[in-house]
Chain A
Amino acid sequence: MTPHNSRGFPAGAALSLLAAIAILFAFFALPWYQLEDGAGTVTGYDIVSDTDGELDLAARATHMFLVVVPLAALAAGATALWELLAGRARRKAAITILLLGALTLGYYYGTFFYESRANDRGATGFVENGFYVALIAGLVLIVQALIPLRREAETLAAGSAVEPGPPAQVVEGPRWRQPFRRFGRQFRRYFGSAPTMAYLAGAWAAMLLERHDGGFFARLVGFRRAPSLFGATEILEPFSDLQFSGILAPFFPAPTDNFPHPFAASLDAIGDLARDIWSALFTQGPRDPGFFSLLIDVLTYDLVIFIIPILVIVLLLRDPLNTLLVRSPSWLSALPGRPSLGVRQRFSFWVAIVIQLVLLYLALDVWSSENDYRELVLMYIGVNIMLTVSLNLVNGYMGEFSVGHAGFMAVGAYVSAVLTMWLFVEEPVFGGPALSSDLGLPYGFLIALVAGGVAAGLAALIVAVPSFRTRGDYLAIVTLAFNFIVIGVINNIPAVGGPRGLNGVPLWTDLRWVFVMVVLSILVIYSLVNSTFGKGIIAIREDEIAAELMGVNTRRVKLVAFIVSSFIAGVAGGLFAHVLAYVNPATFGILKSTEVLVMVYLGGMGSISGSVIAAVLFTILIEGLRPLAVLKWVAIPLVLIFLMLHRPQGLFGFREIKLNLGGIRPEEPEEAGEPSTMAIQEAPDDAAAD
């Protein structure tokens, strides 16, 4: 931590303290709102403490969300006081105050606009002085926190001009990128050294905040309910009824069409489209907001509910958690049997991993409990992660080109669905349960999933034996043909519904199952790739003949990797089958295989974290673009082509994201990046979603 202003009295901190006191004072003592029909005024505290609804407020702008205002002010005041007592300003304090100020203002924004929307007389009609005092004080907090940051940036720049600066100061790239790069550098400096655990805790807290206040704040901002996927769908809603089809239709007429002047008709269609796009971009009225207005609403919602709370918590937890994580091995020396340092380190590392997984699960669980659609999306994300990571083993780590992954998924899906339906549930296709319906969950389902995976693995064995006789792209052709064959065979088995699909699959997949299976698959692939055996896999990618010469049994290695990959795909298919109570062979066609391929290469070959992030992003993209209907499948390939042209290696080709899972010493956070212990790749969901 470098003090940016070590000399003299930290006037900024004093100002922050005053501002925080002003907020609190305004909140507790000054008149805040007018009551309906001139029945006097109330303070902010009155509103918060009015749990039984005695006050007849103009709008129902009542409850818990106002608690954030005094809490943020308290925290900001405490930070400023600490700064003041320490006798010098600290940049971390400045950032904390900045974020707290932003949080306060975010809530104000919400109230203010909600009031003005809910009441014809406008917000000013009933908001009282105290509200404005607190508003201005919040602004002061932000401005105050910005000034020292700015000054320090200048000092840094000046210092680097005199001394031979570190290479990070070298100006590179176009000019317009500079502010972003500078921001990125600063951001990494403060948030990069924070342990993942802090992010996950922040995510959990943010999800709790959303569960409590999300719906209310969403209505404040102008939505009917909390946005499902961070607002991705809501933003695109205005574009949902654009008509593109008239542009080229005159040149490719159907027999029923009649276009005497194709060019004129096409120009007409383009004109109409331009008008529609224009009106989709800008607000049409209070009932029909345009894209830009929605964008502001969504950004406000995400910032106030998710991003800022997460960042505040990360900043507050960063140093304590780092210390805790780094020192925990030495505290463990009191364990019975006096384990060696290495054992203790590993033990505490795995304990940390488990805690983080629990935190991640809690955050996801809270988030998805809001509505069923979110849980559905999370389950799709999980299935896609499993498919992507497993295909990456073959295509990325081993350098083969398998294109029929959906075929293995289909095998797993059908085998497990038939097993659960036949053995454990009462349904129309197979009649009553052959065993007992009590056994279904959890053991029956687990067995069915494993059986699906084993079946997919066996199918992989059948495919692999002939295809590994051949070289290069022949695996592509064999897996492609396999995919067609699987779909064709399922279509021809009337017992499983043929092309109509299989109905009545029990709805057993839930977030827990998906979460556990995803973690297990990532763990399996990670350990496989990092084992000696995995070195063989990578050697095959680099040079198969050389690998053979170095003593790698290439046939065996290829076979095992391929079977493991297909096993995981089969389990993923089993999970997928039990999501919707319905499986259909058409779901597992070439298009699904293509999707998996896209995710693998989007994330980057040979990168587990890349695969995870690509699966998350791609699934959210697909779900978010839903309002665009056909255009969705125009937008996705465009993104893909653009990405391949500019980053042919994918987002994280052959690299992993370094996560700070084991903590780093808080004394040296400036050299962020290198975690002290091994890092396994587990992407926090919030990082991808933000």
Chain B
Amino acid sequence: MDLSFFFQQLINALQLGSLYALIALGYSMVYGVLLLINFAHGDIFMVGAFLGVTGSMVLDLPFVPTLILAMILAGLLGVTIERVAYKPLRQASRLSVVITALGVGLLLENGMLALTGANPRRYPDDFVVTDSTPFGLSFGSVSVTNVKILVIALALVLFLGLYTIVQRTKWGMAMRAISYDKFAVPLMGVSQNQIISLTFLLGTGLAAAGGILWGVAFPVLNPYMGMRIGWKAFIAAVVGGIGDIRGAMVGGLLLGFIEIFVVAYGKDFGVSSTWRDPIAFGLLLIILVVRPTGLFGVARRQKV
């Protein structure tokens, strides 16, 4: 087995896994607080990627301001969606919220297609220059482009930032408290609505960051890109143990690893790269069978 090939695939897997993880984080946070599978999340990821186009091509901003702008705008979009579409249904059955989320997702992707046309988008060439920057590394035949470093490092930074917010701040404590007992928290004088909005702001902001990084790493953007990736990230979040942000991170990375390594090494065993999806999902299902609550999930006691 070629060692440099292995390391090359390892880097690729880390990159893809980080992207899945960024999206899975949003799923997991929203689920933790609202017990809602936010099926519109993947499409907010798409909107984030498109906002990157606005920042870079219309406003001519460099990478970091574009990223921040897109995260803020997408975060506001997420909060608006929650206020308009999910909040009125907080007393209704859980599934009608899920269906509304499905509707919002379809609306976002098809509205985007209808309002902006079907031309494929991409970021300008000087947005993140792939070579000639000091960060590009290569060890022998393993090349680590600065894009890959950027994706992995930024995902790690965002994850650590989020983890700090959730674990170390009062807001984070309130979020954890709501996911623990959503009836007791308002009694303690914490505004449930504010916390939920904050959750959406953070979750969708991360999705937007994921969208822009995705656009940098795999440079073709179209309005339907969010759906497939979103569903996959959701599965990753569940495998990690939905509601737990470490789990989302691990689940996303795991999915990335499985996919990349099936493609890279599958052909040695006569498995073509098109088997990627079935094998990835099959393995994830096996994990779920062994640990029904996911890798980091804790079985909740059911009160009788």
Taking Cβ atoms with an 8 Å cutoff, the residues of A that contact B are: 244-257, 259, 262, 395, 401, 466-467, 469-471, 473-474, 476-478, 480-482, 484-485, 487-489, 491-492, 545, 590, 594, 597-598, 601, 605, 630-631, 633-634, 636-638, 640-641, 644-645, 648-650
Query: With a CB–CB cut-off of 8 A, which chain A residues contact B272?
Result: 492
B96 touches A648 (CB 8 A): yes
CA distance A255 to B231 in the complex (A): 28
CA distance A631 to B105 in the complex (A): 15
Known: A477-B288, A633-B110. A601 touches B96 (CB 8 A): yes
CB distance from A546 to the nearest CB of B (A): 8
**Does B161 sit at the interface, judged by CB under 8 A?**
no
CA distance A236 to B234 in the complex (A): 37
A637 touches B110 (CB 8 A): yes
CB distance from B230 to the nearest CB of A (A): 10
A485 touches B282 (CB 8 A): yes
CA distance A189 to B196 in the complex (A): 49
Option from B114, B120, B124, B293 in Cβ contact (under 8 Å) with A630? B114
Option from A247, A401, A641 in Cβ contact (under 8 Å) with B95? A401
Option from B54, B282, B302 in Cβ contact (under 8 Å) with A545? B302
Option from B92, B115, B281 in Cβ contact (under 8 Å) with A248? B115
Chief secondary structure at chain A's binding surface? helix
CB distance from A487 to the nearest CB of B (A): 8
Query: With a CB–CB cut-off of 8 A, which chain B residues contact A484?
Result: 231, 277-278, 281
Query: With a CB–CB cut-off of 8 A, which chain B residues contact A473?
Result: 37, 238, 242
**Does B225 sit at the interface, judged by CB under 8 A?**
no
Q: Would you list which residues of chain B between 249 and 303 have a CB under 8 Å from chain A? A: 272, 274-278, 281-282, 284-285, 288-289, 292-293, 302
Closest to A396 in B: B95
CA distance A256 to B274 in the complex (A): 32
Known: A255-B122, A637-B104, A641-B104. A481 touches B281 (CB 8 A): yes
Known: A474-B292, A488-B274, A644-B89. A637 touches B234 (CB 8 A): no
**Does B157 sit at the interface, judged by CB under 8 A?**
no
Closest to B108 in A: A637
**Does B117 sit at the interface, judged by CB under 8 A?**
yes
A492 touches B120 (CB 8 A): no
Closest to B99 in A: A601
Known: A477-B235, A645-B85. A249 touches B117 (CB 8 A): yes
**Does B217 sit at the interface, judged by CB under 8 A?**
no
A481 touches B284 (CB 8 A): yes
23 contacts between A and B (CB under 8 A): A245-B114, A249-B115, A249-B119, A253-B53, A253-B58, A254-B119, A257-B119, A474-B238, A476-B37, A477-B234, A477-B238, A480-B234, A481-B284, A484-B278, A485-B285, A488-B277, A488-B278, A590-B227, A590-B228, A598-B103, A633-B106, A637-B104, A638-B107
Query: With a CB–CB cut-off of 8 A, which chain B residues contact A262?
Result: 58
Q: Which 8 A-B pairs have the closest CB atoms?
A: A245-B117, A254-B119, A488-B278, A470-B292, A648-B92, A633-B110, A488-B277, A648-B96
Query: With a CB–CB cut-off of 8 A, which chain B residues contact A474?
Result: 238, 288, 292
Option from A246, A252, A476 in Cβ contact (under 8 Å) with B121? A252
CB distance from A468 to the nearest CB of B (A): 10
Query: With a CB–CB cut-off of 8 A, which chain A residues contact B284?
Result: 481
A492 touches B102 (CB 8 A): no
CA distance A491 to B277 in the complex (A): 10
User: Among A247, A259, A634, A638, which residue has the most Cβ atoms of chain B within 10 A?
Assistant: A634
Chief secondary structure at chain B's binding surface? helix
CB distance from B119 to the nearest CB of A (A): 4
Closest to B53 in A: A252
CB distance from B90 to the nearest CB of A (A): 11
Known: A473-B37, A594-B106. A245 touches B115 (CB 8 A): yes
CA distance A471 to B301 in the complex (A): 12
A649 touches B93 (CB 8 A): yes
Query: With a CB–CB cut-off of 8 A, which chain B residues contact A640?
Result: 99-100, 102-103, 106
Query: With a CB–CB cut-off of 8 A, which chain A residues contact B285?
Result: 466, 478, 481-482, 485
User: Among A476, A597, A644, A650, which residue has the most Cβ atoms of chain B within 10 A?
Assistant: A644
Taking Cβ atoms with an 8 Å cutoff, the residues of B that contact A are: 37, 50, 53-54, 57-58, 85, 88-89, 92-93, 95-100, 102-107, 110-122, 124, 227-228, 231, 234-235, 238, 242, 272, 274-278, 281-282, 284-285, 288-289, 292-293, 302, 304
**Given A482-B281, A637-B107, 19 more pairs with CB closer than 8 A:** A245-B118, A246-B117, A247-B115, A249-B117, A251-B54, A254-B121, A255-B121, A395-B95, A471-B302, A473-B37, A473-B238, A480-B231, A482-B285, A485-B281, A488-B276, A545-B302, A590-B227, A648-B92, A650-B96
B121 touches A253 (CB 8 A): yes
Closest to A473 in B: B37
CB distance from A377 to the nearest CB of B (A): 22
Option from A469, A488, A648 in Cβ contact (under 8 Å) with B275? A488
Query: With a CB–CB cut-off of 8 A, which chain A residues contact B112?
Result: 248
A491 touches B37 (CB 8 A): no
Query: With a CB–CB cut-off of 8 A, which chain B residues contact A491?
Result: 274
CA distance A641 to B85 in the complex (A): 7
Query: With a CB–CB cut-off of 8 A, which chain B residues contact A255?
Result: 121-122, 124
B111 touches A634 (CB 8 A): yes
Known: A481-B281, A481-B285, A598-B102. A251 touches B58 (CB 8 A): yes
A252 touches B54 (CB 8 A): yes
Query: With a CB–CB cut-off of 8 A, which chain B residues contact A471?
Result: 292, 302
CB distance from A610 to the nearest CB of B (A): 14
Query: With a CB–CB cut-off of 8 A, which chain A residues contact B107?
Result: 634, 637-638, 641
A630 touches B116 (CB 8 A): no
Closest to B274 in A: A492
A469 touches B292 (CB 8 A): yes
CB distance from A472 to the nearest CB of B (A): 9
Option from A252, A487, A631, A648 in Cβ contact (under 8 Å) with B93? A648
CB distance from A488 to the nearest CB of B (A): 4
Option from A249, A590, A631, A641 in Cβ contact (under 8 Å) with B231? A590
CB distance from A22 to the nearest CB of B (A): 56
CA distance A467 to B284 in the complex (A): 12
Query: With a CB–CB cut-off of 8 A, which chain B residues contact A650?
Result: 96
CA distance A262 to B54 in the complex (A): 10
A256 touches B119 (CB 8 A): yes
B88 touches A645 (CB 8 A): yes
CA distance A257 to B53 in the complex (A): 12
Closest to B238 in A: A477
Closest to A639 in B: B103
CA distance A636 to B100 in the complex (A): 12
Closest to B279 in A: A488
CA distance A111 to B116 in the complex (A): 46
User: Among A257, A485, A597, which residue has the most Cβ atoms of chain B within 10 A?
Assistant: A485
Closest to B293 in A: A470
Query: With a CB–CB cut-off of 8 A, which chain B residues contact A487?
Result: 277
Option from B53, B121, B288 in Cβ contact (under 8 Å) with A478? B288
User: Among B116, B118, B275, B302, which residue has the most Cβ atoms of chain A within 10 A?
Assistant: B116
CA distance A667 to B302 in the complex (A): 55
Closest to B118 in A: A245
CB distance from B88 to the nearest CB of A (A): 6
Query: With a CB–CB cut-off of 8 A, which chain B residues contact A249?
Result: 115-117, 119
Option from A244, A253, A597, A631 in Cβ contact (under 8 Å) with B57? A253
A252 touches B95 (CB 8 A): no
CA distance A395 to B88 in the complex (A): 22
Query: With a CB–CB cut-off of 8 A, which chain B residues contact A254?
Result: 117, 119-122
Query: With a CB–CB cut-off of 8 A, which chain B residues contact A480?
Result: 231, 234-235
A644 touches B235 (CB 8 A): no
CA distance A478 to B292 in the complex (A): 11
Closest to A638 in B: B107
Closest to B109 in A: A633
CA distance A250 to B54 in the complex (A): 9
Option from B89, B95, B116, B274 in Cβ contact (under 8 Å) with A645? B89
CB distance from B194 to the nearest CB of A (A): 22
CA distance A641 to B92 in the complex (A): 14
A545 touches B304 (CB 8 A): yes
CB distance from A130 to the nearest CB of B (A): 54
